[in-house]
Amino acid sequence: MSYSATGSTGDGYRLAEKYGHKIEELKPGLVPFECCEKELCKRMQGLSLKNISIKLIDKTKNKKIYEDFGEMMFTHFGVTGPVIISSSSHLTRYKNIEELFKGKNIELIIDLKPALDKEKLDLRIRRDFEELKNKKFKNSLDKLLPQKMIEPVIILSKIDPEKKINEVTKEERQTLGEIIKNFKLTVSKFRPIEEGIITKGGVSVKEINPKTMESKLIKGLYFAGEIIDVDAYTGGFNLQIAFSTGFSAGMHKEEENV
């Protein structure tokens, strides 16, 4: 069902179901997130962040679902990129995820400076502020943040953008550091299945011979790739599933015809 722009229609699932196979629920897999803070994200649209860390938190249990380090990007609807795509694999398996989305209980926390702890980051900010003490706050963050993030961070900090740096209080400076270490967004939903890299769900593995990929219900019917209810992380694993199951199905079908 994923990548409909390439011609995928989901016909394989309907055909398998017609022949009596159980189809596990189809969902988008390895997919971007929409966020409640769309306007904030829209201001940063197209901005790629490298060497950041993320955490996904279930606020109802104050539980960390997933964490990662790498690259991500802001879009007009929310966030995407490698660490986001990988984290979605955990959320699609998470119980009652739709209810948690509705309750605004899934939080994405981005650490923009994971190499610095809070104390070292504060020293860095103080050093920058010392050099720029006569500038306005809104003009003092170029060395610290990408240009597209400056306005959103100022909005979140609630520090007067016109304020001179030498007038910024210790508490305000610490608030700035807190935002940089914990830039928070609320995940509201997954993007549509058409935008998923893979499709989760499909023909139940209980109804397929794992050695030959042949249907246990219909002799001579074989399955391979994403039509089967198997999926994995990004990084070539889903391609490997497709190659391996396709090879097995092809080899055993050929043996059947000999």
Query: Which CATH number goes with the domain that contains 18?
Result: 3.50.50.60
The residue from 155, 180, 205 where one domain ends is: 180
Confidence of residue 226 (pLDDT cuts 50, 70, 90): very high
Whole-prediction pTM value?
Answer: 0.88
Residue 243 in domain: yes
Q: Specify whether 176 is located in the same domain as 199.
A: no
Tell me how far apart the alpha carbons of residues 63 and 59 are, in angstroms, rounded to a whole number.
Answer: 7
Domain of residue 231 covers 4-29+194-257
Q: Specify whether 123 is located in the same domain as 160.
A: yes
**Which residues are CB-neighbours of 100 under 8 A, at least 6 positions away?**
58, 60, 94, 106
Q: What is the mean pLDDT of the chain?
A: 94
Residue 64 in domain: no
When divided into structural domains, the chain yields a total of 2
Please count the helices (runs of H) and the strands (runs of E) in the chain: 8, 8
Q: Tokens 């963050």 appear where? A: 141
Q: Specify whether 208 is located in the same domain as 154.
A: no
Q: Is the pLDDT of residue 126 over 70?
A: yes
Residue 17 in domain: yes
The residue from 180, 204, 220 where one domain ends is: 180
Return the DSSP state at 41. H
Residue 59 in domain: no
H-run or E-run covering 99:
helix 97-102
Q: Specify whether 168 is located in the same domain as 200.
A: no
What pLDDT, on the 0 to 100 scale, is given for residue 191? 95
Percentage of the chain beyond pLDDT 90 is 86
What pLDDT, on the 0 to 100 scale, is given for residue 113? 97
